[in-house]
Structure 1
Amino acid sequence: MKLTMIPQRGKFLARTLLITATALTLGSCSLLPGQVNDALGRSTKITADFENIAGMYEGNEIMVLGLQVGKVDKIVPKGTFVEVHMTIDAGVKIPKDAIAAVISPSIVTNRHIEITPPYTGGASLSSGEHLPKARTRTPVELDTMIKTIDQFSASLKPEPGADGLGPLSGRVLYPVLNGNGQKIRETLDALSGALKVGIDNKDAISNIIIKLNELTSMLADNDQSVRDFSNRVTAMSGLLAEQAPGLQATLDQLNAFLVNTSTMFAGHQDQLAESLTGLTNVSNQLRANSLQMVEIADTVPLLMQNITNAMNPQGRYVRLHTLVGSPLSGEITSLFCERVQMRADGCRTGNMQDFGPDYGLTAALLGLTK
């Protein structure tokens, strides 16, 4: 009997272990992909600040163009705002300048977060990045709308003691509407056209609203700088107002000077024309001889230096070395040699230095005696 029970207990234990392992495997298959994505960094985790997160719960969807791309992980109150932790699915990219908006599909329903615009290229958000309140939007609550409508309705009811007269009573509304039907129709037609244009250009209008919101946020962040600039402009305006009499006197003197100058020019316009003509001729001559003027400007300092070096103030004499060979060399020297029948080297070269220390004067005198 014992020999038959032991194998049955072994089979039962093996079946139990097999069922347990199968259950653990199936359970882990449903949890593993998200854990693997988180461990490998495939999903993107971001946070965002919202002014109001009513109707939002952990696990709610994150959508782009109506398609779910993630979920809400955690909602953390931060006093005047709420911080929402979100996980974006692996493979989904979010633009760097994205805006997160809480969307309510209907009045009574769970809300979801819509991220816009969709990614089309360029830089994208990475894990750990944060969207401040300037980049989030929350819808107007139903009770706020009802309260606003109630205040509007209360403002339209007749005031006590006014005999039932209110903004919409017949005795008040009739004079306003009487005879203005055509104008009202034209106004409604224009409003309809404006609304149609607004619908056709809703993306552009949305971008304008976003830019205006960014501008107002920037002005709010730099409120002190704007106030300082306004104060400086006010101070400058006050200073100009205080100095107005002095400025007026200065402008009057300047006007008188211009009047006198114009009168003088008008009385001597012929002389001015001749002077300007002569000045034009001088400038033309200077421009035509610009190279020579440049050369003179370059050589005059050297000339003055040579004159200074040639003068001896102590001995009261001037030391000069005259080169007579340059003006006498050439054809004149050759012609002179032929006339006096000289055969010196200078006659052959035409250079005065080749005649010797006496420049050939001895040979020339001998040639004249022949």
Structure 2
Amino acid sequence: MRKILLTSAVALLVLVALVGARAGLSPDPRTMTVMFPSTTSLYQGAQVKVLGVRVGTVDSIQVKGTQVQVELSYDPEVKLPADVHAVIVPPSVVGDRFVQLAPAYTGGPVLQDRARLGITRAGVPLELEDTYRALDKTAIGLGPRGAGRDGALAHLISASADNMRGRGRLFNTTIRSFADAIATLAGSSDDINGTTTNLARFNRRLAASDATIRRLVVSLVAVSTELNGQGDELTRAVTALDRALGDVAVFAKHNRSSLRSNLAGLTSVSSALRRHTRELEEVAELGPVGLTNLFKTYVARNWDPDHPGQSTIAGRTGSQNLHAVGAQDLDTQLSYTMSAFCASLPAAEATRLAPFCDALEAAGGDVGKVILEAYRQGGPHPPGGAPMAPSAREQKAARR
């Protein structure tokens, strides 16, 4: 018996020593302070859970002004995220309220020991009394002491009833039309998707052409700046154009009959020219050829058609040189001829037609120059192969 008692006492002492050693080696739990707006039905010793698993307890609850300070302790092996929140979970059918810490730790910074969570990181459930209180306030606000004090709510309900009375079919049609519209939109989902796809493709193309669009915008800005800088010049130009149009309008008003007759004459001339377009084309094509052939004509003076043997071909003389001499100063001759026509007009008509006569004289000179140029390039030369002698005007220009 003594051996048994001694063995039991030694075993008990060893067990106590092991428990004490384990208690001395176990780390202290972590603590946390949370400020709640209220802690209804939460008591000291309540559980602290993470994902429904108990990790700690509520150590103390103290009122601090309008808030409640709750001290929590939890297992030091449990890691909590630095942005953790504390929420009071209402009781189920069985069980008391507890504090839920969320979210669970998945990585990142860890909440430090003795952390303090403000009221913005604490949540409490909505109490049934609060719901009743809110409903009571709503009922009072809508009752005789609130919005219905002057019968406003009753008037609103009555007016709504009057407006809806007899319009049930219309409301029904509206609802059906709305349902049909929704069904149409649902049936056009492919078209809507296609439109969205095209818009996305258009946006991508715009993004790809960003540099070109930027250059276009810069060019437009430059044009706008240039136009803005020339605003005064544009204003003066528009003003001058307006004044000129006014003068034209006054001229047309005072010379309406003359303009009408001139336009009528011009119309008849244009009609005649249009009717003889083919003939004019032939004259324009054959005229230069005819003039060239005219200068190439040759009439022998010592040749008798009845006795052709009396003269040799080498000894015949003709009038081709006379043609060359006649072509000299042709521009001057035609210009003089045109001016002579105007000189034969009466003084009053000559003064009125002076611009026309000047243009006619210049046209005659230009026609003569064209004929001379055609003769020099393709016309005949005087006998002996020498080129045609220069005109008096050309000689005078050479001397200069």
Which TM-score tier does this pair reach, normalised by the shorter chain? 0.3 to 0.5
Q: Give the TM-score normalised by structure 1.
A: 0.38
Question: Which one has the largest radius of gyration?
Answer: 2
Q: Give the TM-score normalised by structure 2.
A: 0.36
